[in-house]
Amino acid sequence: MSAKSSADPRNPRAAALQVLLTVLRDQRSLDAAIEAHEAALPEARDRALCRALAYGVLRHHRRLGALRDQLLRSPLRRRDQDVALTVELGLLQLLDMEVAPHAAVSETVTLARQTGKPWAGRLVNALLRRFQREQAQCLAAVDSDPAVRHSVPDWLAGCLRADWPADWESLLARQNCRAPMTLRVNRRRARPDQVAAQLAAQGSAAAGQPGAPDALVLEQPLAIGQLPGFAEGAVSVQDVAAQFAAPLLAAQDGDRVLDACAAPGGKAAHILEQADVSLLALDRDASRLEAVGATLERLGLKADCEAADAADVGAWWDGRAFDRILLDAPCSGTGVIRRHPDIKWLRRADDIARLQAGQKRLLAALWPLLAPGGRLVYATCSILAAENEAVVAAFMADRADAHAVMPDLPVGRAVGYGRQILTGDSAVDGFYYACLEKR
């Protein structure tokens, strides 16, 4: 909003607009933006509405923008991004939310008037009312292009079409669906059937997932405070696809284990829940490493945590080999867009080559640290071949002492050395896994 804005920060629509500006104008993450702006909303229902609006616009940003531009006689100026996003908020409510049309228009016009731009209210009112009259024609005009219809930048649509020619359009659609909430039960403190019974007693249904014995998928999401045993360390929130990492690593009691890029700590915790190992958790971001320590403390687990760049081996390694290494490499995050729709607008095409270079650097640096007979699991939450199979194939071409074992998973598809899970396969996030053993 402009400096003259008189918007009430306690209004959920005004807060949602500020979240969107923080993401799209200031290029900050959606999580950080929500944390910064929803604190002013005292009511839980207002915070929920703010989140629904912000997530909805970011999921459908390109389509909503195309509809807005279809309605305008001339494009809005860059400095009027607040007004442009206000229109998108109104269109979202008319298209995709259970808001009465008259309320959607009225509340959005009120928000536009608070931008400090006298013309904004009149413009927004005219555009939304025209859309109500001409909705079918407007949608037909913008929906012929799959990248616009499913709201992804052209570069990402092109990558997905090249990598997954038979799946790319359905994949784009699945990226805009809401992801289920999944729990991981800490087997040291509870059993899945016990937690499921506790959930049922409070009216919440949960189901297990094939191949993920510690997982419970909730029928409806719950606030953290409503999860039975969360504060006591009985459960954590973690998607099923991420829960495959620890079983694939297959650490045994007494093993020395490295989690090379550990934050926020879910996979490290799962490893420790499954076996009595000596675990070193690294992350180059000291502030994110604090989250790892907090997670382990809540779950009653212990590990050595060190802030370091895993690829800079000389700065942290003590010379003792590891029996198991988990390399959950920094990546584009394109497999978790349905949970983090801001990824579509914060990533750029040239990020992929930079990320791939870092992934190759990490893999090459960590392999010498693996003991003979040991296993390294390479993982990403990406669905781009450049970050996954291309990285592992390049590594394997130079390593006579490396042997790839195809991950045994109930979802996904074999792609050379590893297994690729696409977003929405059996309702799980997009992930890639490769298991490399040292001869």
Evaluate whether 180 touches 205 at the Cβ level (below 8 Å): no
Which residues are the active-site residues? Answer: 381
Beta 206-209 vs 212-218: how paired, if at all?
antiparallel
Evaluate whether 5 touches 116 at the Cβ level (below 8 Å): yes
| DSSP calls for 365-419 | HHGGGEEEEEEEEEEES---GGGTHHHHHHHHTT-TTEEEE----SSSEEETTEE
Cα–Cα distance measured from residue 249 to residue 436, given in angstroms and rounded to the nearest whole number: 10
Sign of the C-alpha dihedral computed for residues 211, 212, 213 and 218 taken in this order: negative
Evaluate whether 434 touches 404 at the Cβ level (below 8 Å): yes
Residue type, 182: T
Sign of the C-alpha dihedral computed for residues 34, 39, 44 and 50 taken in this order: negative
As beta bridge partners, residue 237 has 183
DSSP 191: -
The residue whose two tokens read 């915790």 is: 269
Closest to 424 in 3D by CA, of 189, 173, 234: 173
CA angle (171, 174, 176) in 5-degree steps: 120
Tokens of 38: 């929803």
Q: Which residues contact 291 (CB under 8 A, 6 or more apart)?
A: 263, 264, 265
